[in-house]
């Protein structure tokens, strides 16, 4: 008989939207936790109305993005603004071990669903709130999006070239970093609860998560009063260090040379061109001083090969190199296919069969798997409210007719 998944028996009420909260609960669900996603047609999760859509038709159940973040979850609809909505939410919290929400700080309190209120119906509840800058402090109540958080955390300042404006990152980067820490915090709270019988509140700041990934820049200022800025693809310790154009349309390979042995090997791979023997490139300091010229000369060589050929040639001799991959490259990547990173999920009621990502780790005894597709809006209302929460048929129908489940 196969081993149980590691988080079987853990029950999660998920009131979060977009990426941070849903990706957190996806990791929990894929490892066996029973997760109920709560949403409303009056306040749709924005991922439901984000491209791409099946056949180009805009509809909450036709976005490909939503089910990829919600595999192995049940889905219910509940209007928290309805007078009866918060009381039903509390019944769901009473069932759960963990409650997760990602509203602007203050929203749950105004609806009577903050930690202090939920504790009254479930004293040992674990509750996690994720927001841009935490729940308290001068800016705690500021609403925001991932792109803003990137700027506040400093990423935008460092992204781009020294002689140009900041370009930012075309993704809500911290939205994909924060779930790793959210999961750790939840598991720590579960362990604490098992030892003490007590729950607790977790206040996750996405801004503070972002700062962890700029630690060296912060250390440089705190220790040396040096304010770093944009430097393109350049490095303070490696040269050459750039993405070099290769044969084909918009094909590139990133290369990093960090010491004299790698430089010698690098030159041998390129056929020891005459310029590699020039004094202006003889030491790391000289190469750094003449870096722009060096980059042009290197690219003159890489243009004769495909990006894959450059990567293999460099890696085979111990020089760090990697193809700059497109979304097509990632989808067909043989290593990811080997690890079954995108298994075929059970058919979605509207979208049919599609591939959804697994967590990026493999547990040897209890590997994660996708057991259910992401839910349609309100797909499991009757099952969750009647069978799980114990609503009578009369109560369920009455609330349904009153519009509570919209």
Helix extents (H) in 60-128: 65-69, 85-95, 107-110, 115-121
Query: Cis link prior to 100 (omega < 30° from 0)?
Result: no
- DSSP E strands: which ranges in 182-280? 200-205, 241-245, 252-256
Contact of 115 with 105, CB cutoff 8 Å: no
Crossing angle of helices 260-269 and 307-316, in 10° steps, is: 130
Burial class of residue 314 in the structure, from the number of CB atoms within 10 Å of its CB (0-12 exposed, 13-18 middle, 19+ buried): buried
- Tell the residue number behind the tokens 């080997």, with chain if given: 338
Q: Identify the helix (H) or strand (E) that includes residue 73.
A: strand 73-77
- Reply yes or no on whether 30 is catalytic: no
- DSSP E strands: which ranges in 110-165? 126-131
Can you tell me the distance from the alpha carbon of 230 to that of 232, in angstroms, rounded to the nearest whole number?
A: 6
Q: At 221, list the tokens.
A: 């200022």
Contact of 165 with 137, CB cutoff 8 Å: no
What are residue 11's phi and psi, to 5 degrees? -115, 130
Q: At 5, list the tokens.
A: 């998944």
Write down the catalytic residue from 14, 79, 175, 295.
175
Q: At 91, list the tokens.
A: 């019944």
Can you tell me the distance from the alpha carbon of 14 to that of 37, in angstroms, rounded to the nearest whole number?
A: 5
Q: Identify the helix (H) or strand (E) that includes residue 151.
A: helix 146-152
- Tell the residue number behind the tokens 């750790």, with chain if given: 184
Can you tell me the distance from the alpha carbon of 26 to that of 12, in angstroms, rounded to the nearest whole number?
A: 11
Q: How crowded is residue 131: how many other Cβ atoms within 10 Å of its Cβ?
A: 26
Which residues have a catalytic role annotated? 175
């Amino acid at each position: 008989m196969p081993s149980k998944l590691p988080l079987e028996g853990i029950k999660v009420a998920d009131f979060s939207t977009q990426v941070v909260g849903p990706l957190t609960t996806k990791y929990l669900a894929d490892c066996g936790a029973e997760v109920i996603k709560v949403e409303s047609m009056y306040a749709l999760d924005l991922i439901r109305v984000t491209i791409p859509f099946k056949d180009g038709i805009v509809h909450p159940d036709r976005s490909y993005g939503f089910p990829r973040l919600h595999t192995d979850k049940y889905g219910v609809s509940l209007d928290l603004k309805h007078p009866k909505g918060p009381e039903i939410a509390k019944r769901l919290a009473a069932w759960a071990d963990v409650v997760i929400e990602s509203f602007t700080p203050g929203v749950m309190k105004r609806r009577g669903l903050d930690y202090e209120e939920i504790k009254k119906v479930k004293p040992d509840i674990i509750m996690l709130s994720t927001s841009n800058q935490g729940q308290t402090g001068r800016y705690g109540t500021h609403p925001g999006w991932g792109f803003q958080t990137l700027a506040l955390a400093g990423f935008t300042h460092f992204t781009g070239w020294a002689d140009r404006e900041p370009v930012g990152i075309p993704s809500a980067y911290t939205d994909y970093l924060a779930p790793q820490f959210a999961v750790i915090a939840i598991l720590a709270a579960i362990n604490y609860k098992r030892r003490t019988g007590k729950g607790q509140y977790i206040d996750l700041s996405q801004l503070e998560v972002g700062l962890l990934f700029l630690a060296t820049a912060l250390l440089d200022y705190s220790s040396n009063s040096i304010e770093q800025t944009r430097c393109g693809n350049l490095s303070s310790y490696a040269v050459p260090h750039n993405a070099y154009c290769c044969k084909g349309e918009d094909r590139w390979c990133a290369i990093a040379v960090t010491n004299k042995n790698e430089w010698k090997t690098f030159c041998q791979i390129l056929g020891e061109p005459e310029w590699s023997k020039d004094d202006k490139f003889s030491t790391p300091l000289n190469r750094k001083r003449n870096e722009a010229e060096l980059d042009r000369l290197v690219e003159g060589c890489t243009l004769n090969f495909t990006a894959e050929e450059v990567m293999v040639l460099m890696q085979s001799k111990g020089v760090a190199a990697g193809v700059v991959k497109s979304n097509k490259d990632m989808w067909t990547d043989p290593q990811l296919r080997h690890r079954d990173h995108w298994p075929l999920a059970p058919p979605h009621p509207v979208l049919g069969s599609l591939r959804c990502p697994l967590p990026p780790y493999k547990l040897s005894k209890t590997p994660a798997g996708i057991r259910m597709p992401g839910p349609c809006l309100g797909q499991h209302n009757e099952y969750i409210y009647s069978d799980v929460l114990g609503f009578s048929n009369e109560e369920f129908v009455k609330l349904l007719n009153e519009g509570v489940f919209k």
